[in-house]
Amino acid sequence: DAKTTQPPSMDCAEGRAANLPCNHSTISGNEYVYWYRQIHSQGPQYIIHGLKNNETNEMASLIITEDRKSSTLILPHATLRDTAVYYCIVRIDTNAGKSTFGDGTTLTVKP
């Protein structure tokens, strides 16, 4: 799996968009970008994933740059319950379930 780099922490005001960056400059053409989050004392929760195109679901949007070397997870209207550690993972889909998570970004949503 390609290595990812994320800022250790970020703050966001409640109701505003949270933009979480991830660098994955060594990503291969067949590797997907996955995002998970982990709220304190719980297991990680799948958020979204993508290969090349931008993706959106009910939780978030994923923007992948054209060269695929970086991506941004967007939470459009952050709430206090979005306070969590967010992990960006790059992996070949056939190796799903074998990923090692990095240290992630601790997002703190403030009132």
Partner 1 sequence: DAGVTQSPTHLIKTRGQHVTLRCSPISGHKSVSWYQQVLGQGPQFIFQYYEKEERGRGNFPDRFSARQFPNYSSELNVNALLLGDSALYLCASTWGPTGSNYGYTFGSGTRLTVV
Contact 108, 16 (CB under 8 A): no
Which of the residues 35 through 54 are near partner 1 (CB under 8 A)?
Answer: 36, 41-46, 49
CA 69 centroid distance within chain:
14
21 binds partner 1, rule: CB under 8 A: no
Task: Give dist(CA 31, CA 1) in Å, integer.
Answer: 8
30 binds partner 1, rule: CB under 8 A: no
> What is the closest distance, in whole angstroms, from the C-beta atom of residue 84 to partner 1 in the complex?
13
> What is the closest distance, in whole angstroms, from the C-beta atom of residue 96 to partner 1 in the complex?
3
> For the chain, how many residues are written?
111
DSSP state of 5: B
Residue with tokens 């090692």: 100
104 binds partner 1, rule: CB under 8 A: yes
Residues of this chain that interact with partner 1 (CB under 8 A) are: 34, 36, 41-46, 49, 85, 87, 93-104
